[in-house]
Amino acid sequence: MSIASIIQDQVGNKAFTMMGARDLIDTGTSTDALGGLRWRVGRNAKRVQWVQVTLKADDTYTVTFTRMKRAPSYEVVTLAEHDGIYFDMLHGIIESETGMYLTLCRDDRGSYAA
């Protein structure tokens, strides 16, 4: 099982559906990362176009939110980057940076139900 498929399971198919996620890409390994997953999200209030989740050697994630400018530059702009994120914090970070809800209901404590 690849790192990208593990990240996909941890975020969850319902969350991907609610984000309008498409173009899921396995980012593979690099010198400082064990692997990752990048996907394009639907329209949102904060104009985020791409979300990338990368697994680090210390078993935490780096979550990066980017968008691409229009022609002629097509410059990729990093809107936010969060380091040291654990898997149970992924939903909260993605929701706060995109403005999109990833679940339909909350429990009594104000946190999202599984």
So where are the chain's domains?
3-98
| pLDDT tens-digit map of 26-61 | 998 877 789 999 999 999 989 999 999 999 999 999
Find residue 36's DSSP bridge partners. 54
pTM for the model stands at 0.86
The answer to whether residue 103 scores a pLDDT higher than 90 is: no
Q: From residue 81, how far is each of 42, 71, 103 by CA, in Å?
A: 19, 24, 22
| Distance of alpha carbon 46 from alpha carbon 29, whole angstroms | 29
| pLDDT tens-digit map of 56-69 | 999 999 999 999 99
Which positions ≥6 away from 39 have C-beta within 8 Å?
16, 19, 21, 22, 23, 24, 25, 50, 51
